[in-house]
């Protein structure tokens, strides 16, 4: 969702125009998937949960769309407020349901194309480390970095979502990225010393 959504498309979708609704969701979904993946990361080496949450966000947008009214804020503020709530719900559910998934006894007919255990472990570890680094940032900086870097929203739209000016968003993003670089350097030093 790097480009601003056409307000007329949103208005037509809110009036339940099926073609407009399909076009709107097609524009929204890639950014929502990136946002959910960045916030939730990989579980078991796959993005299944994050992709499911992104789908839930799309459904939430569809349900709320008829009640959407233009109030001088970009539509992305409306969408990412829903996304932030769905991600928080998924994080709470993951904490509640932190039970391990049992391995399948099913024998496959052909080789599994999925990444092997080592690749999954490396990917999961990297995602865990990146998530831990992001968690060390203040919430506002974390959200700004996710919306700007992972989703690709312009500073003006992120400012509307966060209630800040575009210049303040750029400053917070710069400070957040600088802090991540510092944290990543010390985290990598800890790994190499072990």
Whether pTM exceeds 0.75: no
Burial-class residue 148 by CB neighbours within 10 Å (0-12, 13-18, 19+).
buried
Confidence (pLDDT) at 73:
81
- Residues 155, 166: contact at Cβ < 8 Å? yes
Query: What is the C-alpha separation between 86 and 146, in angstroms, rounded?
Result: 15
- Residues sharing a CB contact under 8 Å with residue 123, sequence separation 6 or more, in sequence order: 42, 45, 115
- Residues 147, 80: contact at Cβ < 8 Å? yes
The tens digit of pLDDT for each residue in 144-174 reads 998 898 888 899 989 988 889 999 999 999 9
* Average of per-residue pLDDT values in the chain: 81
The tens digit of pLDDT for each residue in 54-107 reads 999 999 999 999 988 888 888 988 999 899 889 888 888 777 765 444 445 555
- Letter string b/e over residues 173-189, b meaning 16 or more CB atoms within 10 A of that residue's CB: beebbebbeeeeeeeee
pLDDT confidence of 40, banded at 50, 70, 90?
confident
- Residues 79, 61: contact at Cβ < 8 Å? yes
Question: What is the sign, positive or negative, of the torsion defined by CA atoms of 27, 53, 158, 42?
Answer: negative
What one-character DSSP code corresponds to residue 5? P
CATH architecture of 7-96+118-193: Orthogonal Bundle (1.10)
What is the distance between the terminal CA atoms of the chain, rounded to a whole angstrom?
41
Residue 176 has pLDDT above 70, yes or no: yes
Residue 193 has pLDDT above 90, yes or no: no
Residue-wise DSSP of 128-161: HHHHHHHHTS-HHHHHHHIIIIII---HHHHHHH
In the chain, what are the domain boundaries?
7-96+118-193
Q: What is the CA radius of gyration of the chain?
A: 19
């Amino acid at each position: 969702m790097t480009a601003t959504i056409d307000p007329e498309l949103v208005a037509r979708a809110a009036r339940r125009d099926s073609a407009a609704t399909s076009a709107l969701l097609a524009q929204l979904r890639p950014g929502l998937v990136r946002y959910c993946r960045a916030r939730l990361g990989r579980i078991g080496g796959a993005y299944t949960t994050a992709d499911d949450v992104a789908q839930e966000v799309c459904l939430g947008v569809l349900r709320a769309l008829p009640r959407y009214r233009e109030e001088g804020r970009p539509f992305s503020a409306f969408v990412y407020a829903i996304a932030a709530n769905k991600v928080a719900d998924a994080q709470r559910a993951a904490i509640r349901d932190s039970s391990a998934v049992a391995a399948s006894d099913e024998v496959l007919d052909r080789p599994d194309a999925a990444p092997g255990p080592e690749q999954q472990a490396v990917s999961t570890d990297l995602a865990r480390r990146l998530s831990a680094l992001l968690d060390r940032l203040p919430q506002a900086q974390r959200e700004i970095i996710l919306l700007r870097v992972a989703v690709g929203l312009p500073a003006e739209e992120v400012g509307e979502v966060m209630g800040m000016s575009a210049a303040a968003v750029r400053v917070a993003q710069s400070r957040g990225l600088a802090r991540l670089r510092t944290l990543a350097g010390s985290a990598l030093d800890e790994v190499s010393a072990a």
